[in-house]
Amino acid sequence: MNNKTPFMEATYVGYHCVVLVKQVPDTKRITGQAMNEDGTVNRAALPAIFNPEDLHALEMALDIKDKYGGKVTAVAMGLPAAAAVLREALFCGADQAVLITDRRCAASDTLATSYILSCGVRKLNPDIVLCGRQAIDGDTAQVGPQTAEKLNLPQVTYVEQIQTLDGKRMVARRKLGNGWQEVKTTLPAVLTVVDTANEPRVPRALRLMKCKTAKCRGEIEAMAKADPSVNVDAVCKELDSKGLLIQQWDLDYLNADLQWCGRDGSPTKVHRIQSVVLTAKETKEVVPTQANIEAMVHELIVDHTIG
Amino acid sequence: MIEVNKQGEVWVFAEQHGGKLEEVPVELMSKGRELADKLKVPLAAVLLGGQVSGLCERLGHYGADKVYLAEHPLLEHYQTSSYAKVIDGLIQKFKPQIVLFGASPCGRDLAPRIASAMKAGLTADCTDLQIGSHEIKSTGQTFDNLLLQIRPAFGGNIIATIINYDRWPQMATVREGVMPMPTPNIKNKAQVVKETVHLSQSDLAVEILAEHRQQRKVNLKASRIIVAGGAGVGSKENFKLIWDLAHCLGAAPGATRAAVDLGFIDRDHQIGQTGTTVRPVLYVAAGISGAIQHQAGMSDSQKIIAINSDPQAPIFGIAHYKIVGDLTQVIPMMIKAIKEKA
């Protein structure tokens, strides 16, 4: 979309961009089996995908790397299965991937998630933190700003374009509901990216072939459960030597304060979940003939709906 | 975070830009009034800006008992860091029990920053708010008079009710257009509480270089009648039929996300979970299958006419008039019928 990004000459040797990515259920493709009878979501029946707006954040980071050098680290929080989105990030060109996974992360709301992510980001010491504006499972748009607050960094939300990047200064264009705004900020900063920012790249075949065996330790452990001949340590070591081991961090490694993680760290609780069944009101079928349409219009005029 | 404070007030963030009050805080005043009355506590507006004291009177007319007014030259233009700093301070000082924001780009930028600093809960994009109690089943512990924060989740497939019983204030952003506008009462006067603000340039994390706000091309929320088209309209040329029918009904043209993505019409016309929420007197849905995300933005319409060639289209489930047929034939029939009656 932005074929000619007006970037200025680089005066800084490279940026370390950390991209926060999330694996989400594909809520656009929800079918009957995806909802349990009690109205809760049957996550197992939903295909898991790379959160769409995070792909745009990743693309923005890769674009920065292409123009200025540096590196891109993709970070996800989730079960070992979430390593799938990190592999996708590697396919697209991310240099390294980190999975934050720990049973004690379960039931984290946006506040606890942001706290945990901020602990991970701190370890990476980035120049720029990017994430999608929001994730399609919750649509909250809270994790970006909350992570920025936890890191005590400036936040620039709804970024559509980075206009200039010069040393520790950045000018970005934000897309607002009914217009735009151009802001200047110092780095490091946290950016949330909208889906009109760019066209995410398609992974190159060579890179895809190279990275498709990348795994995190948890995935290798799951393989070993099914096949006892798999030696977890040996496989990890081999992948690591090829740069294909997705790093796996737990809360102890992050030195996270457990009172701010998981259920305990989450002030919001679910009171009730209802599945949406919009009630069918009394429906009148109108066979489309001119006379029938006229009768319908007449009814609407009589009851003052139109006219 | 602040401690649970049952005497705490209900607050509404009075979003303004350039001295002009936005619509969403006004919408929130009616819901805020209802919540405050149930809890028997005052309703207060929180107004920040350069010179905005002129808005206090109107906030009173819309139902505020109090206005917390924070004026400072550095608050003239909205910025996350400076606004968050001032509101964080106000929350710690006055300990409100509920703080509401519009789910506008500004509210969705500001509220999470404040919630994070307060270590308090925040629910995004609520479509309704109520007062109710919650029981923790495992312990039998009951909490009364909590804010029930009701919102669609999972792409609109479920409705979740969220609560926050211990880390206050209870915070929520509320979707634009879902709460009715209150009728102003010019006798209602708000007590203005002026707060002294200490800000310096270092409190501004960003510098605003340029800004452009355009008027929306269409005001869907204010329209009595909406004629909306979906992907089933088929082409931009066919979409002219939607405009024609809208013109002869004095209606606003609307669209589904799919129709917008296909380039049939501008995004300003989008209705649904990611667009505008509307509740007109009459909603004509043409070539709209009725995805749950679209229904979330229009199912409160008083009357719905659905035109679709697929008799199984989910939109018919909420329609009052079901017309199975080709919209390129049905719409001209409707136009003819309306012109003859008028």
- Greatest CA separation found in chain B? 68
Q: Does B169 touch chain A (CB under 8 A)?
A: no
Instruction: Give the residue-averaged pLDDT of B315-340.
Output: 94
User: Do the chains contact at B154 and A111, CB–CB below 8 Å?
Assistant: no
pLDDT one-digit tens code per residue, A23-69: 999 877 766 566 666 555 677 778 899 999 999 999 999 999 999 99
pLDDT one-digit tens code per residue, B258-278: 999 999 999 889 999 878 889
Which residues in chain B are contacts of A156 at CB distance < 8 A?
206
User: Do the chains contact at A305 and B156, CB–CB below 8 Å?
Assistant: no
Q: Are A254 and A120 in contact (CB under 8 A)?
A: yes
Highest-scoring range by mean pLDDT, A177-181, B77-81, B218-222:
B77-81
Sign of the alpha-carbon torsion through A118, A123, A128, A132: negative
What are the tokens at A86?
């990190």
Is the model's pLDDT at A110 over the cut of 80?
yes
Which residues in chain A are contacts of B324 at CB distance < 8 A?
285, 287-288
Which residues in chain A are contacts of B216 at CB distance < 8 A?
178
Sign of the alpha-carbon torsion through A291, A293, A298, A303: positive
**pLDDT at position A2:** 45
Q: Does B261 touch chain A (CB under 8 A)?
A: no
Closest Cα partner for B308 from B330, B335, B286, B328?
A: B286
Q: What CA–CA distance (Å, rounded) separates B319 from B306?
A: 6
Which residues in chain A are contacts of B248 at CB distance < 8 A?
none
**pLDDT at position A106:** 94
Cα dihedral: A52, A55, A60, A62 (round 10): -170
Is the model's pLDDT at B326 over the cut of 50?
yes
CB-count burial class (<10 Å; 0-12, 13-18, 19+) for B99: buried
Residue of chain A whose alpha carbon sits nearest to that of B298: A278
CB-count burial class (<10 Å; 0-12, 13-18, 19+) for B195: middle
Q: Does B1 touch chain A (CB under 8 A)?
A: yes
Q: What CA–CA distance (Å, rounded) separates A215 from A245?
A: 5
pTM score above 0.95:
no
Distance from CA of A162 to the nearest CA of B (A): 14
Which residues in chain A are contacts of B300 at CB distance < 8 A?
none
Nearest beta carbon to residue B321 from set A25, A186, A284: A284
Phi first, then psi, for residue A65 (nearest 5°) are: -65, -45
Query: Residue B305 half-sphere exposure, CB side, CA atoms within 13 Å?
Result: 27
User: Do the chains contact at A149 and B112, CB–CB below 8 Å?
Assistant: yes
Distance from CA of B237 to the nearest CA of A (A): 22
The pLDDT-based confidence of A281 (bands split at 50, 70, 90) is low
User: Do the chains contact at A139 and B124, CB–CB below 8 Å?
Assistant: yes
Instruction: Give the residue-averaged pLDDT of B67-73.
Output: 98
User: Do the chains contact at A183 and B208, CB–CB below 8 Å?
Assistant: yes
pLDDT one-digit tens code per residue, B197-236: 999 999 999 999 999 988 777 888 878 899 999 999 999 9
Which residues in chain B are contacts of A181 at CB distance < 8 A?
208, 210-212
Nearest beta carbon to residue B108 from set A137, A138, A141: A141
**pLDDT at position B218:** 82
Q: Give the helix/strand (H/E) hosting A63.
A: helix A52-68
Closest Cα partner for A130 from A164, A106, A102, A153?
A: A153
**pLDDT at position B319:** 94
**pLDDT at position B236:** 94
> Checking DSSP bridges between strand B158-163 and strand B141-153, what pairing results, if any?
antiparallel
Distance from CA of B168 to the nearest CA of A (A): 8
At residue A147's C-alpha, the angle toward residues A121 and A113, to 5°, is: 90
Q: What CA–CA distance (Å, rounded) separates A107 from A103?
A: 9
**pLDDT at position A9:** 45
**Roughly what angle, to the nearest 10 degrees, separates helices A52-68 and A83-92?**
40
Distance from CA of B49 to the nearest CA of A (A): 18
Which DSSP state fits A261?
S
Is the model's pLDDT at B245 over the cut of 90?
yes
User: Do the chains contact at B122 and A111, CB–CB below 8 Å?
Assistant: yes
**pLDDT at position A36:** 64
Closest Cα partner for A28 from A9, A53, A46, A1?
A: A46
Instruction: Give the residue-averaged pLDDT of A246-259.
Output: 98
Least confident of A97-111, A143-157, B219-233: B219-233
**Which of B101, B116, B165, B225 to mutate to test binding with chain A, by most A CBs within 10 Å of its CB?**
B116
Instruction: Enumerate the β-bridge partners of residue A19.
Output: A74, A130
The pLDDT-based confidence of A186 (bands split at 50, 70, 90) is very high
Give whole-number Cα distances, A235 to A82, A245, A248, A281, B273, in Å. Answer: 19, 9, 14, 60, 46
Which residues in chain A are contacts of B281 at CB distance < 8 A?
305
Q: What is the ipTM of this complex?
A: 0.88
Is the model's pLDDT at B103 over the cut of 50?
yes
**pLDDT at position B211:** 92
In the predicted model, what is the mean pLDDT of chain B?
94
Is the model's pLDDT at B330 over the cut of 90?
yes
Nearest beta carbon to residue A278 from set B148, B295, B305: B295
**pLDDT at position A11:** 47
Q: Are B182 and B26 in contact (CB under 8 A)?
A: yes
